[in-house]
Amino acid sequence: MGSKMEKRREKAEKCKKKNLTPEQMIARYRKKYHATFGILIGFVVIIGIFIYFNYDYLAFKHFITSSYIYTETLDDLYKKYLDIDTTGRYYNDFDNFVIAATTERIRAERGDRYTYLYTPSSLEKSRRIDKEEAAQSEIRILDDTAVYLKLTNFTKYTLEFMEESQDDLKSRQNIIIDLRGNRGGDIRVMIDISSMFLPRKSIVAIDHFRWYDHVYRSNKDQPLKYDKIIILQDEATASASENMIAALSENLDNVELIGKKTFGKGIGQFTLPLRRGYAVKATTLKWLTPSGLNIQGDGIEPDVEYSGDDIIEYALSRIQ
């Protein structure tokens, strides 16, 4: 039925076109021409504005890549910053070279070691390390009362591990969460994992950007409930793992922190994908605990300081 109606409409449109006078046909084509010409003019204006505001950089890029006489210096710099052999072709990778050099100066001036350019090889290596780290996460049943959870980072692989392990995690009424050596990772993954332990709508973290604050809240109905939660931490517990510690300890009254003072990374980064496999990572926010604290440079003190090799057994004794 629908196809018949469409055919009738098409026939009606054709009839209308056949019945148009030459003046009407000219007016119709004139409208199409004006619309097309207007779009073209708008596009040219946008390009002109872009070139105007970026002229200095574009001129510098062309000038250096095509005319600078000490090409061996350029070769050395491209090798140093991008680990590539240009063979005289400087133009295509010049933007990435400038980004790498700029982020190096930012790190040197600010001491911000988290802002840098990923080359295609280093980005692939980082992803491989994340996956290998996540594979070291584990769950063990310690006894009739407690389950042990080791989280090595916060990546999509860690989240998959948590989602696939729900039955084991729910098998005991107490849990020991080991975040020692966990350097952090994706804040969205941390939000999802923390939400498993928190009532819906609980504040998990607050991201403070240059222009606004964003509040993350628990997006689950606390599928993992425990009589007692013990979190193990040390000096290498950093960033998103510190955020999880703060989220659980500030929202729940059954959490105990055992170990050493954490690293103290209260800033966060965003990784922006670029062309040809590059990406730039930069510090774009400070994160706050649910109570509004920023732990940058301070870390989180344990409730019970402990440094023995038998820390898991000690934590289990605190439950028993």
CA distance 215 to 208: 9
- Can you give the pLDDT at residue 34? 83
Q: Which residue has the tokens 């939000």?
A: 191
CA nearest 194: which of 215, 213, 216?
A: 216
- Can you give the pLDDT at residue 17? 55
Average pLDDT over residues 63-78: 96
- Can you give the pLDDT at residue 27? 77
- Give, in order, the Cα–Cα distances in Å from 252 to each of 12, 193, 199, 229, 247: 69, 15, 9, 9, 8
How many Cα neighbours within 13 Å face the side chain of 32? 6
What percentage of the chain exceeds 70 in pLDDT?
94
> Which class is domain 127-319?
alpha beta
In tens, the pLDDT along 186-230 reads 999 999 999 999 999 999 999 999 999 999 999 999 999 999 999
171 pLDDT exceeds 80?
yes
- Can you give the pLDDT at residue 310? 94
In tens, the pLDDT along 232-285 reads 999 999 999 999 999 999 999 999 999 999 999 999 999 999 999 999 999 999
- Can you give the pLDDT at residue 132? 96
In tens, the pLDDT along 6-37 reads 666 665 565 555 566 777 777 777 888 888 88
CA distance 182 to 238: 6
